[in-house]
Each structure stands twice: as C-alpha cells, then as structure tokens.
Amino acid sequence: MSAVTVLVASAAVSAAVAATLLGLLLRYAAKRLPLDVPNARSLHERPVPRVGGVAILAGVAASVLAGLAPFGLALGLAVALAVLSFLDDLHRLLTGVRLAGHLAASAILAWYVLSPMNPLELSLIVLAIAWITNLYNFMDGIDGITGVETAVIGLGLLLLACPGACGVALDFSPPMLERLRDRFRAER
C-alpha cells in the first residue's frame, strides 16, 4: 500500500470513529455527561459536554490499532493525559497534580524522540511541550478555535508533505473538524 493510501485510510478511520462515537455520546448519553459550565474565567457562554477529547482519542486509537499510524507512545501518553483530564473534570484535581502529569508526559515524549540531547535543551523542550499542551487545553474553551486550529495545522502539514507529521495531521484533523461542527451546532 502506498504512503498516500495509508495516510488517507488513517484519516478516514480516525474521522469515522470520532464522528460515530461523538454522535452516540451526544445522542444517548448527553444527560449523563459532565458539562463544562461557564465561570468567570471561561470563554464560552453556555454549558457544553466535555466529551470531544474522548471521541478524538478513540479515532486516533482506532487508526493506530488498525496499523495505519505508528504513534503508539504518543497515543499512550495522550490517553494518560486524557484520563488525568477526565478525572480533573469530575473531581477538580490539584493544579500541582495536573502539572506533574503534563510535565511527566512531556518529558517521556521529548526524551524518547530527542535523546541523547543536552539536558538543559531537553528541559526547555519539556517545558515548551507542557506549555503548549496547557495553552491548547485553555483555547478549547473558546468555541471552535481548537477545531479550526487543528484542522488548519493538519492540512498545512499535509501540504508541506512532512512524512512523519502527515499521519498525525490526518489522524487529528478530521475528528477535530467533527468536534468543531458539533460545537457550532450547540451554539444554535
């Protein structure tokens, strides 16, 4: 199978699973889902379900499990952070606990991908990964911005034809577009 065929198949599997799961969750479990209720720091005005990340990870996981995307470690770390975030949604974890989880996941990923490397440079990269993860999570409160951002970045990477990045872009872009569509539907 050609690289382009694998990438397209990966995106299709990811999008189909994410869209299906998100639709099922919102249709049949909406009353039991945790809601993100706006507060003084929120950027959205109405309560919204906190399930988009579950559908996105399920879509990417399906692509990985089908052997279409070789991102096992990154997916494992994303699942660990998703569990941590879901627990935070339900029980309001201490900031230090969440930060420790983000720093640990960032350190594992950076060390695995970039070592051996100067410890100071590696530490700065770990901080940058944790920072962008938290920034992205914060921006998720702005209705639609993360969906648009992820889709644009994903399509940009695809256009640049970065062999390693294209798979990530195609796995995450379709589920984020589905979540974006759902967000705009909720606003009506």
- What Å distances lie between residue 5 and 10, 11, 167, CA to CA? 8, 10, 11
Which amino acid makes up residue 46? R
Q: What DSSP string describes the chain? A: --HHHHHHHHHHHHHHHHHHHHHHHHHHSGGGS-EE---TT-S-SS-EES-HHHHHHHHHHHHHHTTS---HHHHHHHHHHHHHHHHHHHH---HHHHHHHHHHHHHHHHHHHH-S--HHHHHHHHHHHHHHHHHHHHHTTSTTHHHHHHHHHHHHHHHHT-HHHHHHHHHHHHHHHHHHHHHHHHH-
Say which residue the tokens 């199978």 belong to: 1
In this prediction, residue 179 carries a pLDDT of 61
pLDDT for position 99: 92
pLDDT of residue 100: 94
Name the stretches of the chain with pLDDT < 70.
1, 4, 41-44, 69-70, 140-144, 153-188
Phi/psi zone of residue 171: left (φ > 0), alpha (ψ -120 to 50 degrees), beta?
alpha
Tell me what pLDDT residue 174 has.
62
pLDDT score recorded for residue 102: 93
